[in-house]
Structure 1
Amino acid sequence: MIRMLDDLIRGQEQKLWETARRIVPHITPDDLLQPNDFPKLEMNPYFRHEEGILDGLRMAKAALQAEKMSTL
């Protein structure tokens, strides 16, 4: 399950990067750590939607890892 989430996260990171590049062509991967520095990203509902999907996938992975640790 964790491997599947890792694959989904990598795919969503790529999708988010491609989306950001369409909106702000000069953006760097580090810039995506603080997208609020770019008003065009901050105000773009499609970018925010894709960012939310990535956050949800990361939270699901963290929850599964925490559950696994609590059963050890």
Structure 2
Amino acid sequence: MSVADENEVLEYLTDVMRRDGFDETDNIKFSDSFKAAELLGKHYGLFTESRAADTGEVIIVDNISGDKNAGKTE
């Protein structure tokens, strides 16, 4: 018996999430499907907080003029 590779684990989790290949006697609970979806989502990085939000805000920096005080506010 060998250790499962990454693809085999991902396929199994996908089957559990979709409840594919299981019959009623296997008793796949909703919590099992939900956990499989969560593990797959973590694997694919779907829940990362580092995604930048596009706020639509535009910042204009005036650094073209030769005036050293340009852009400064007091």
Fold equivalence (TM over 0.5): no
With CA pairs under 8 Å and 6+ residues apart, which has the higher RCO, 1 or 2? 1
Q: What is the TM-score when the length of structure 1 is the normalising length?
A: 0.35
